[in-house]
Amino acid sequence: MPAITGTTRVFYILGDPVAQARTPEVYNPLFQRHGIDAVVVPLKLPAAALPGFLQHGMAAENVRGFWATIPHKSALAALLKPEDPVAAVAGAVNAVRRCENGRLEAALFDGIGFVKGLDHFGIAVRNRRVLVVGAGGGAHAVAAALAQRAPARLAVFNRSAERARSLVQRLQTLTGTAAEVAGSADPAGFDLVVNCTPLGLQPDDPLPFDPARVDAGAAVVDIIMSREPTPLLRACRARGLQAEPGYEMLVQQVPEFLRFFGFEDVAQALQGDLSELRALLQPK
């Protein structure tokens, strides 16, 4: 670890809890390897302390920004009113930067990480029929990013129809009438099906939809951030379908975070060769 001095740019990862966050394990080695005088420090910040932290904790000129995890993503969006359209639709942010004039700018990178993952896998969205299963926080970010890529149809299913309708109303600001509420989780008739539910985190979870109903030639992507395929993905692959895990979503966000925080050269270098990043993200 290099010496921390008065010139070191300080970043935080905010959460409560925050012990599980691997952000320092990823970015501090990147800063060191690329000769950047910066450090990421975890802060366990209770939800009630967030407004005061934004006002006072971010006033220090050498504090340049922070990553955010639970429970702060939605509260930050409400407080900072992000201009990023994906963050506005999702009602959440996971990064905040301090501008030279002290103004705080917020953005969300879950969605762009997801669609860049689709690019990595060679899965197209434009003019395709897309089904998003689930309407939680992750689904909001993913669906908003998909909406920006002009799908022919963007359907959302959720067990709570009201929650699905709420998300679709937000999506229609980006994609118009292409966004709609799906009557069921039936994947038939779609070119891309995205599991945005937590089903698959546990080995005995039921499947979020019937893999036998996925069209031949369609792709299935699960946003559960595991390197290993979930039972859903294994069932789809057994049929010869392209079925990809959510781990790539995590990988592809990193250059975007670096770019947002002003490290354009490092972001470009990593995007050209993600092997260094994949090694850092290997599970412990």
Q: What is the pLDDT of residues 23-66, one digit of tens each?
A: 999 999 999 999 999 999 999 999 999 999 999 999 999 999 99
Q: Look at residues 178, 85, 183, 196 and name the one whose alpha carbon lies nearest to residue 128.
A: 178
pLDDT tens per residue, range 139-183: 999 999 999 999 999 999 999 999 999 999 999 999 888 999 999
Distance of alpha carbon 182 from its chain centroid, rounded? 23
Residue type, 218: A
* Mean per-residue pLDDT, 217-245: 94
**Predicted pLDDT of residue 253:** 93
Is residue 78 predicted with pLDDT exceeding 90? Answer: yes
Q: What is the pLDDT of residue 242?
A: 98
User: Is residue 282 over pLDDT 80?
Assistant: no
pLDDT mean over 66-76 = 95
Q: Does residue 199 surpass a pLDDT of 60?
A: yes
Sort residue 65 into left (φ over 0), alpha (ψ -120 to 50) or beta.
left
**Residue 280 in this model has a pLDDT that exceeds 90:** no
Give the position of tokens 């149809």.
Answer: 153
> Strands 95-98, 104-107: parallel, antiparallel or unpaired by DSSP?
antiparallel
Least confident of 77-86, 146-155, 194-203, 271-280: 271-280
pLDDT of residue 281: 79
89 sits in which H/E element: helix 85-90
Nearest 5 degrees, angle CA 160-CA 79-CA 148?
A: 55
Indicate the SS3 state at residue 211: helix
**Percent of the chain beyond pLDDT 90?**
80
- Does residue 284 register a pLDDT over 60? no
* Between residues 225 and 41, the one the model is more confident about: 41
Closest of 69, 11, 80 to residue 45, by C-alpha = 69
> What's the pLDDT at 283?
61
Q: What is residue 137's predicted lDDT score, i.e. its pLDDT?
A: 87
Least confident span in 189-193, 226-230, 233-237:
226-230
Query: Residue 275 pLDDT more than 90?
Result: no
Q: What is the full DSSP assignment across 120-170? A: HHT---TT-EEEEE--SHHHHHHHHHHHTT--SEEEEE-SSHHHHHHHHHH
3-class DSSP state for residue 9?
Answer: strand
Model's pTM, two decimal places?
0.90
pLDDT at position 225 is: 83
Residue 219's pLDDT band, with cuts at 50, 70 and 90, is very high
Q: How confident is the model at residue 218 (pLDDT cuts 50, 70, 90)?
A: very high
* Residues noted as catalytic: 73
